[in-house]
Amino acid sequence: MTIQWFPGHMTKARRQIEEKLKLIDVVIELLDARIPLSSRNPMVDEILKDKPRLVLLNKNDLADPQVTAEWVKYFAEQGLPALPIDAANGTHLKEILPRVKQLWAHKIESQLRKGINPRAVRALIVGIPNVGKSTLINQLAGKKIAATGDKPGVTKGQQWIKVGTEMDLLDTPGILWPKFEDQMVGMRLAATGAIKEELLHLDEIALFVVKYMVQHYGTGIQERYAIQELPEDMDNIHEVIKVMEAIGRKRGAIVSGGKVDLDKASLIIIRELRAGKMGRISLEKPLR
């Protein structure tokens, strides 16, 4: 479920995370591997301050593995360890615990030196709506516990989930809001399903997707939709529309008179992208 964020919601969400931060040792920041920066909260550093942090690039099953590798490097350069995962299918989840422990190793060592039996490391998952927080919590818990859907106003009694004997995870995630101000960020969020498409026009999102696909995944789109020739000038909107029409035609989105139904074509394009039917696609690359 997607929530609409207003300043009051943001303040409340922030306060709730700050309350949770008091209880935990390490933050797990969940991002969408296809759009890591666009799926990131604009104030995340300020909110999390200096808590040790592990970045997880989720939905990597849908992202371009080469681009994801670039993102891992990008975050490493920022001093943030990052791990690509696929929470829905449980891929690479076993690597989370050792990474979290690494971030807390200095504390464990100092406790051991003092002769204290170290307790389990306490972690919190944070991220924007729909990034996969509940899916990941459920996977790590080994059962369905996290409520699906996001309601920043709803608080339950905090409970810990044991992830083996060495990690305790808060059962409710920290919900952060995405950045909306930048139109391109909005497009990426809408294209991947992080925000309601009703907030933007479907055809605009589809235009953005097609343009990006032609520019970065041209051969794939050509083969998939049997497009003879791709346009060269993708800044010319009429050229982009021609590609949309070709896709619509291939998928049978035709109205009477043989014209392509662009609304229907837009919906098909967005659905196929989200379902991974266009291949593994990343919609954002690190700027260097």
- Rounded to a whole number of angstroms, the minimum distance from the CB of residue 252 to ligand GDP is 26
Q: Across the chain, which distance is largest between two alpha carbons, in Å?
A: 82
132 binds ligand GDP, rule: CB under 6 A: yes
- Residues 139-168 binding ligand GDP (CB under 6 A) are 148, 150
CB of residue 116 to ligand GDP, shortest distance in Å: 35
Work out whether the CA dihedral 22, 52, 182, 86 comes out positive or negative: negative
Q: Does 40 bind ligand GDP (CB under 6 A)?
A: no
222: CB partners within 8 A, 6+ apart: 230
The total of other beta-carbon atoms located within 10 Å of residue 53's CB is 21
* Percent of residues in the chain assigned helix, strand, coil, to nearest 5: 45, 15, 45
113, 107 in Cβ contact below 8 A? no
Q: How far is the CB of 256 from ligand GDP (least distance, A)?
A: 36
Cβ-Cβ contacts under 8 Å for 49 (sequence gap 6 or more)? 21
Which H or E run includes 250?
A: helix 237-250
Measured from the CB atom, the residue of 27 and 260 that comes closer to ligand GDP is 27
Region of 39-47, 57-65, 233-241, 279-287 interacting with ligand GDP (CB under 6 A): 57-65
The count of chain residues that interact with ligand GDP, using the rule CB under 6 A, is 17
124 beta partners: 27
Q: Kindly tell me which of 2 and 102 has the beta carbon lying closer to ligand GDP.
A: 2
CB of 57 to ligand GDP, least distance (A): 10
Q: Which residues inside 58-97 make contact with ligand GDP, applying CB under 6 A? A: 58-59, 61-62, 86-88
Q: Which of 133, 188, 211, 280 binds ligand GDP (CB under 6 A)?
A: 133
We find the least distance from the C-beta atom of residue 273 to ligand GDP, in angstroms, to be 12
Identify how many contiguous H helices and E strands the chain contains and give both numbers: 9, 7
Q: Which two tokens stand for residue 36?
A: 């890591």
**DSSP β-ladder status, 121-127 and 174-175:** parallel
Q: Which is nearer to ligand GDP, 127 or 248 (CB)?
A: 127
DSSP, res 82: E
Q: Is residue 127 near ligand GDP by the rule CB under 6 A?
A: yes
Q: Which is nearer to ligand GDP, 192 or 266 (CB)?
A: 192
Residue 59 vs 188, nearer CB to ligand GDP = 59
- Give the interface with ligand GDP as residue ranges (CB under 6 A): 58-59, 61-62, 86-88, 127, 129-135, 148, 150
